[in-house]
Amino acid sequence: MSNQQPRQPIDPLVAQRLQQMNTRTGQTLPPPRPIDADQAAKLAAAAQRAAAARAAKQGGTAVRTAPNPGRRAKPARASKVGALALSVATTAGLTAMFAGQDTGTTDSVVLTGGTLATVAPTASTAATASTEAATTTAGDTLTSADPTTTVAAAAPAAATILDGTYVGAADSNRWGVVQVQAVYSGGQLVDVQILQYPDGDNKSVRINQRSLPTLISEAIANQSADVNTVSGATYTSDSYVASLQSAIDAAKAASGITG
């Protein structure tokens, strides 16, 4: 025992506990294993952190302590960089994909001759032929806000609307412009053709492709612009009604019908 090294200081908290236990049990326990310098430094840092935490909890001024040496200064750094890179790459990829989708589907969503649905319940062959001719000439390029009228040569009896195609006023809403033309044959509304509709993005195209056929068939069934608003297409429905009503008014005016 003579060559025993001088003991290094142990943690004061441990020494205090040891003394208390010795006093309580009445026997002397062997002193704890001596700690090396590295462990002593860790203990000191831990004690400092604990003191700072106690001070902060009691409302005192927290003391900035040295970080835990076993703890990384910037944890999950690689994962963070990965998450950011993945997010940016996904955004770029999705944007490119949406652009590609729009380019790829442009042809399929353009309306042929401006007509979404051709519903002609009572039209004769001649009337249908003239309708198609009028549609072809009308195309998608009519942007005038003033209603214009194309009247066919055949004139039926008085008090009925003359056969022909009557272009309604272009009605703007927050998503774009809706313009329709009404086709009359035998005094009946036989078709409503869409000259313009909001088609700036896929969302509008999808909404209008779903709603406009319903609005067209309802107008033909009712023989008027008195149609129900299609759920999810309120703006389109309102603009459709406004444009169709102006077309019907133009048809009546051209036919000499008042009221």
Partner 1 sequence: MTSWWWYLTRATGIVAAVLAVASLVWGLFFSSRNTGNRLKPNWWLALHNYLGGLTLAFIGIHVVVSFLDTDSGLRFVDLLVPNSTAGWAIGWGVVATWMFVLVVVPSMARIRRRLPRKAWHAVHLISIPAVVLSMVHAFQSGSDATVSWFTRGLALLVGLAVYPVTIRLIGLSQGRRRPAAA
Query: What is the rounded CA–CA span in Å between residue 198 and residue 214?
Result: 16
What the block records as the tokens of 31 is 């002193």
**What is the smallest separation between the CB atom of 75 and partner 1, expressed in angstroms?**
4
What the block records as the tokens of 3 is 């060559």
**What is the smallest separation between the CB atom of 223 and partner 1, expressed in angstroms?**
32
**What is the smallest separation between the CB atom of 196 and partner 1, expressed in angstroms?**
15
Cβ-based nearer residue to partner 1, 205 or 225: 205
Looking at the chain, the number of H-run helices and the number of E-run strands are 6, 5
Q: Across-strand partners of 244?
A: none
Cβ-based nearer residue to partner 1, 9 or 69: 69
Query: What is the rounded CA–CA span in Å between residue 156 and residue 162?
Result: 6
Cβ-based nearer residue to partner 1, 32 or 200: 200
Q: Answer positive or negative: Cα dihedral of 227, 196, 140, 254.
A: positive
Instruction: Give the 3-state secondary structure of residue 183.
Output: strand
**What is the smallest separation between the CB atom of 226 and partner 1, expressed in angstroms?**
25
Cβ-based nearer residue to partner 1, 33 or 174: 174
Cβ-based nearer residue to partner 1, 192 or 205: 205
Cβ-based nearer residue to partner 1, 7 or 206: 206
**What is the smallest separation between the CB atom of 111 and partner 1, expressed in angstroms?**
19
CA dist list (Å): 67 to 55, 71, 73:
17, 7, 8
Query: What is the rounded CA–CA span in Å between residue 135 and residue 191?
Result: 10
Q: Do 235 and 228 contact (CB within 8 A), yes or no?
A: no
Binding residues vs partner 1 (CB under 8 A): 71-72, 74-76, 79-80, 83-84, 87, 90-95, 98-99, 102, 174-175, 200-203, 206
Query: What is the rounded CA–CA span in Å between residue 180 and residue 115?
Result: 9
**What is the smallest separation between the CB atom of 86 and partner 1, expressed in angstroms?**
9
Query: What is the rounded CA–CA span in Å between residue 18 and residue 12?
Result: 10
**What is the smallest separation between the CB atom of 179 and partner 1, expressed in angstroms?**
18
Cβ-based nearer residue to partner 1, 22 or 234: 234
